[in-house]
Amino acid sequence: MNNRKNNLFIILAGIFITNAVLAEIIGVKIFSLEKTFGFSLAQIQLLGVRYDFNLTAGVIIWPVIFIFTDIINEYFGKSGVRKITYLTTILIAYTYIVLYLVSKTAPADFWLEINKTINGNPFNIEDAYDRIFSQSMGIILGSLVAFLVSQFLDVHVFRYLRKITGSKYIWLRATGSTLVSQLIDSFIVLVIAFRLFAGEYAWSWGMLLSVCFVNYIYKFAVAVLLTPALYGIHYIIEKYLGKEEANRLAEEAA
């Protein structure tokens, strides 16, 4: 049974780490949700700020990270989440270091030549590569701080709700912890990356609040919509470990 428990932790950790690192890499892109699906811009006016559904690409998979945070928290407790969080933070930092070093390598002449145009338009693939992967220190710092703060906040809110609800109402503690932690995550990363350390490229507070607010609404909405998946994962774990062992593991974690 210990083998199954260890295998479960490795699988959950692998899914968590993969999505966390991937979200950091793709998060540099800001995309329009309306245009992606062929809709007109929302242009919602609120307190003098215009809100369109502009999102960082990382939020597409970020709700998965919080769901697996809650799953790991449920069966392996705060210590399990703490281990995964520290390891993921180190791996994210390592990813940024590698991307930075690779961006400093000299491009091959033939590579520049064969990629010098796209659809007949001049194109510098080296500049594009550097612009995408050589993210600023502000983005790196914002990502790491937001990740650490939101993860530990999620853990504590989840454990607090677990004490109140016991083994019941999985959706309540998962959604409640996500509601708080994703709010903090959405604002910290953008404020640090695109306001405090962006220099001359700093976003206006209006733009910042717009993207922060929309990112949070999206992440929370998707987390709620993924509630059936949360129960599905619990069901799979109970089948894998056996219901009695799964319950015992959850009670030990609590």
pLDDT of residue 249: 85
pLDDT of residue 236: 92
CB atoms < 10 A from the CB of 162, how many? 22
Q: What is the DSSP letter of 116?
A: S
Angle at 29 between CA 14 and CA 22, to 5 degrees: 10
Is 62 within 8 Å of 23 (Cβ atoms)? yes
**Domain residue spans of the chain:** 2-253
Is 251 within 8 Å of 241 (Cβ atoms)? no
pLDDT of residue 18: 94
Pairing label, strands 121-122, 117-118 = antiparallel
Closest alpha carbon to 149 in 180, 181, 179, 177: 181
Long-range Cβ contact pairs of 199-203 (< 8 A, separation 24 or more): none
Give the integer Cα–Cα distance in Å for 215 and 60. Answer: 10
Q: What is the pLDDT along the chain (254 residues), one digit of tens a residue?
A: 578 889 999 999 999 999 988 888 887 788 888 898 888 887 777 666 677 778 888 888 888 888 898 899 889 988 888 899 899 989 988 988 888 888 889 999 999 999 998 888 888 999 888 878 776 566 777 778 888 888 888 888 878 887 887 767 777 777 777 777 877 877 887 788 777 776 677 777 777 777 787 778 887 788 788 888 888 998 999 999 888 888 888 888 76
3-state helix, strand, coil in the chain (%, to 5): 75, 5, 15
DSSP string, 50-83: EE--EEEGGGGTHHHHHHHHHHHHHHHHHHHHHH
- In single-letter form, the type of residue at position 23 comes to A
pLDDT of residue 182: 76
Helix (H, G, I), strand (E, B) or coil at 49: strand
Give the integer Cα–Cα distance in Å for 191 and 15. Answer: 28
Give the integer Cα–Cα distance in Å for 30 and 193. Answer: 13
Angle at 201 between CA 195 and CA 202, to 5 degrees: 20
pLDDT of residue 167: 67
Closest alpha carbon to 26 in 54, 58, 1: 58
